[in-house]
């Protein structure tokens, strides 16, 4: 046995003054230590409250040698990441221990902490007591008796035993502790956590737990389990993990619920679960990072899972959503009562949809949105006309013709409103372009969803996730190292006829040159092999035309060069003409 002492970093006083918010959070520090030690499993035993049985945290990590204990573990308040880096040595996990005081977390709960650790054929053991700290005049003078003995070289890991639990503190609650650990480690592969001999599971989330099994026609056997949480706050990693062949594929999924207009985004944050579908094995990408796009088997799984989740969410939160709708309708009943009956029915449905979409948001935020809806219903019959057409299509020809005529009048009103909104957009966009500090990425972001600015023929082009990924992948390969800061700002889009459009943005203060034109056509040549397009159009847009730009007759086919001032002016002229014509129609 030898006597050893702590080594103290100058940050000690400040760090030890920071208290843990609960006994469960203090214990979690010891689980974080197991993670940092590359453990494959950690077992926590919590005895019955008020008993004298100790708390035990035992992991299968790398353990510590005598040298590591002296130089690292006993070096208080030393940032582990600065000593060894951001990742663990073996499994390359992101290190969680930051302050170097997690080792003392157990002493918040107990008066005695015993540490046993096994590594490289040696077992090291020592104990410390809270009274030792109270009696020592200086922590550097605090003696610790370290025992070192031989052990089987195959044994490794660390065991912390906390005894003489402090009375007056809430005893660690196993259910609450599991919920806390599940947030952090529930999605981690290769790290098994057990509390009182029960592994962390989806049923540990507080809320509405459900389990389903089925045999789908094509995807085969499917096992689904999930919980709709009713605890406060959002879950850390919400969604349903997809497990294929025992391995998790990609990130948690919502199976289309995140794209449904009337499903509250805040309730997506309450869903936590896993689905096992081995039938998707041949539809997993080589890196196991995702499922193959457009997988029909995945669509089958989605169609099965989505209504089940919606039903459980409605069971848990439907009553609260109905109450919110009732409170809001009570405040706006006067406006609703002044609407015609057919509009009132539509308003009821629309308000319900809005409340669904914005569930969880303050009512002061939702009410103005409903107000805008009522404003539209009071001012225009556009929605009602569409409903009228739908009803008329099953009736006589004369009624349908009448409905279509009404649609034309309503369409004129909507187009007029849109034209006015677009003119306001152009005013703001022009201000943006006049600012010499405006970068390419800024105008890219402003125009990505507003390609009508370039002309009517471009209004049907739009980007999507696949095209964005292609652009990012291409730029990531082509522009590395010193060239990374010279990456162009490209937008790749496609229309309904499968025609592709490649836009290269230059900042509004940039004079376009011949080399810019050459670069744009070169990008087209690089992208064409990855698309199904028969042709790809190019738009190069910047602040001014340089003298060495090729004249119109010398340009390659399907290539356009635009100047921001010109496209803004042209778009504004077209919209003003349209408003003039619509005014004539309205008075005709």
The pLDDT of residue 316 is above 80: yes
pTM summary value: 0.55
In whole angstroms, give the CA distance from residue 185 to residue 189: 9
The tens digit of pLDDT for each residue in 552-579 reads 545 678 888 889 999 999 989 988 887 7
In whole angstroms, give the CA distance from residue 195 to residue 180: 12
Q: Which residue has the tokens 């042709």?
A: 535
- DSSP string for residues in 445-486: HHHTT-GGGG-GGGTT-B--HHHHHHHHHHHHHHS-GGGGGG
Instruction: Say if domain 2-195 classifies as CATH 3.30.70.1140.
Output: no
Which DSSP symbol is given to 288? S
Nearest to 102 by CA among 15, 165, 204: 15
- 233 burial (CB, 10 Å; 0-12 / 13-18 / 19+) is exposed
Domain edges within the chain: 2-195, 202-318, 435-574
The pLDDT > 70 percentage for the chain reads: 79
Quick one: which H or E segment has residue 252? strand 247-253
Instruction: Say if domain 435-574 classifies as CATH 2.60.40.
Output: no
**Range ranked top by mean pLDDT from 350-359, 360-369, 429-438:** 429-438
CATH class of 202-318: alpha beta
**Range ranked top by mean pLDDT from 418-422, 490-494, 496-500:** 490-494
CB 432 within 8 Å of CB 568: no
Query: Which residues 6+ apart lie within 8 Å of 307 measured at CB?
Result: none
The pair of three-digit structure tokens given for residue 369, joined into one six-digit string: 């949105």
The pair of three-digit structure tokens given for residue 245, joined into one six-digit string: 């062949």
CB 453 within 8 Å of CB 447: yes
Nearest to 455 by CA among 573, 580, 584: 573
The answer for 552, left when phi > 0, alpha when psi is -120 to 50, beta otherwise, is alpha
Mean pLDDT of the chain: 81
**Range ranked top by mean pLDDT from 59-73, 253-267, 296-310, 361-375:** 296-310
User: Given pLDDT bands bounded at 50, 70 and 90, which one contains residue 532?
Assistant: low
Tell me the sheet residues that pair with 545.
512
What's the residue count for the chain? 588
């Amino acid at each position: 046995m030898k006597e050893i002492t702590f080594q103290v970093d100058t940050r000690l006083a400040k760090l030890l003054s920071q208290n843990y918010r609960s006994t469960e959070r203090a214990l979690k520090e010891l689980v974080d230590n197991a993670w940092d030690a590359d453990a494959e499993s950690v077992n926590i035993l919590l005895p019955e409250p008020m008993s004298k049985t100790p708390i035990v945290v035992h992991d299968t990590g790398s353990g510590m040698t005598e040298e590591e204990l002296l130089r690292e573990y006993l070096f208080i308040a030393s940032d582990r990441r600065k000593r060894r880096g951001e990742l663990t040595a073996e499994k390359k996990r992101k290190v969680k221990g930051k302050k170097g005081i997690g080792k003392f977390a157990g002493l918040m709960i107990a008066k005695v902490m015993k540490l046993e650790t096994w590594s490289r054929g040696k077992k090291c053991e020592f104990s410390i007591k809270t009274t030792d700290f109270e009696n020592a005049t200086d922590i550097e003078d605090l003696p610790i008796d370290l025992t070192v003995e031989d052990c089987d070289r195959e044994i490794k890991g660390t065991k912390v035993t906390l005894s003489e639990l402090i009375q007056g503190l809430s005893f660690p609650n196993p259910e609450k502790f599991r919920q806390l650990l599940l947030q952090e480690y529930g999605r981690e592969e290769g790290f098994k956590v057990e509390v009182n001999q029960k592994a962390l599971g989806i049923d540990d989330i507080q809320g509405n737990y459900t389990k389903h099994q089925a045999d789908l026609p094509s995807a085969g056997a499917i096992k689904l389990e999930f919980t709709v949480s009713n605890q406060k706050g959002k879950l850390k990693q919400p969604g349903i993990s997809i497990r294929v062949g025992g391995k998790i594929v990609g990130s948690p999924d919502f199976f289309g619920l995140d794209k449904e207009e009337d499903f509250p985004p805040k309730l997506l944050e309450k869903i936590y679960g896993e689905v096992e579908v081995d039938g998707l094995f041949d539809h997993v990408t080589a890196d196991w990072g995702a499922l193959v796009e457009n997988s029909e088997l995945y669509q089958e799984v989605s169609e099965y899972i989505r209504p089940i989740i919606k039903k459980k969410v409605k069971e848990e939160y439907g009553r609260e959503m109905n109450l919110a709708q009732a409170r809001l309708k009570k405040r706006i009943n006067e406006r609703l009562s002044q609407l015609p009956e057919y509009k009132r029915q539509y308003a009821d449905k629309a308000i319900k949809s809005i409340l669904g979409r914005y569930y969880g948001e303050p009512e002061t935020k939702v009410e103005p949105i409903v107000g805008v809806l009522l404003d539209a219903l009071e001012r225009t019959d556009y929605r009602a006309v569409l409903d009228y057409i739908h009803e008329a299509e099953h009736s006589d020809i004369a009624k349908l013709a009448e409905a279509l005529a009404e649609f034309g009048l309503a369409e004129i009103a909507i187009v007029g409103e849109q034209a006015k909104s677009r003119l306001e957009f152009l005013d703001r966009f022009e201000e943006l372009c006049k600012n010499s500090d405006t970068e390419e990425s800024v105008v890219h972001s402003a125009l990505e969803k507003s390609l009508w600015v370039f002309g009517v023929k471009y209004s049907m082009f739009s980007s999507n996730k696949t095209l964005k990924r292609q652009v990012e992948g291409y730029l990531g390969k082509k522009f590395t190292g010193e060239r990374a800061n010279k990456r162009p700002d490209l937008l790749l889009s496609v229309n309904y006829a499968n025609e592709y459009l490649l836009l290269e943005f230059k900042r509004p203060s940039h004079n376009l040159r011949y080399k810019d034109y050459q670069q744009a056509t070169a990008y087209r040549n690089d992208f064409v092999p990855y698309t199904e397009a028969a042709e790809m159009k190019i738009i190069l847009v910047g602040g001014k035309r340089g003298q060495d730009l090729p004249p119109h007759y010398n340009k390659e086919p399907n290539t356009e060069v635009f100047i921001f001032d010109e496209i803004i002016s042209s778009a504004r002229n077209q919209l003003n003409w349209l408003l003039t014509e619509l005014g004539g129609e309205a008075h005709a």
